[in-house]
Structure 1
Amino acid sequence: MSAVLTVNSYFNDQVKSIALDNKEGTSTVGVMAIGEYEFGTSQREYMTVVSGALTVKLPASDSWDTYLKGDTFIVEANQSFNVKVEETTAYLCRYE
């Protein structure tokens, strides 16, 4: 059985991800280049930093928090959040 992998590119190729479906559900694994980004959600997202760091301003928050390798943050569906990347960073995003 072969899987179909979907490659996504955002922000002029500064963010790239590969989507996958397996027994754990739908996820993306990706990389963000140095920069600042705003993302929108359509489902609840569990974002885990795999390598590097993400500084994130979550919805309804006035503060920026930095997430390091192994850290996870959750963004509810139909929200937007801001991310600052100071070093190229890899992430895993699981959708519910």
Structure 2
Amino acid sequence: MSEFSNVTVVKKANVYFGGNVSSRTIRFADGTVKTLGFMLPGEYTFNTADPELMEILDGDLDVWLPGAAHWQTVKGGESFNVPGNAQFTVKIKAPTDYCCSFLK
């Protein structure tokens, strides 16, 4: 899906890591929430509350997921899941555009 219809967008940006990661919250009529964001090159560690689906729209990164034995490379057009109440780290190798879906 390349666009969303009938959504509410929160105007205030979510800004992390000195502005190197930013996103906007998108709310759907059925109560689901996603963020659309952009990450500049660097290494960032995130904590989750709910499980997440991270869809990489464009870019290039490595991710270290909970319980993993090694880094996993993810490129534009690919995705990965993160469990709830967890921590994961990404190494952004090229500017990366993403969509994060919060799963319940």
TM-score (norm: length of structure 2): 0.86
List gaps (5 residues or longer) in structure 1. Answer: none
Is 1:3 matched up with 2:8?
Answer: yes
Is 1:95 matched up with 2:66?
Answer: no
List gaps (5 residues or longer) in structure 2. Answer: 1-5
TM-score (norm: length of structure 1): 0.92
Aligned to 1:81: 88
Q: List structure 1 segments (4+ residues) > 4 angstroms apart after TM superposition.
A: none
Give CA deviations for 1:17-71 in whole Å, capped at 9, x if unaligned.
0011114610000000010000000000000101111210100112001111111
Is 1:33 matched up with 2:51?
Answer: no
Equivalent pairs counted in the alignment come to 96
Change (3 A) 1:90 1:8: same
Percent of residue pairs identical: 34
Higher mean C-alpha deviation, range 2-11 or range 37-46: 2-11
Shift of 1:74: 0.4
Shift of 1:3: 2.9
Shift of 1:4: 4.3
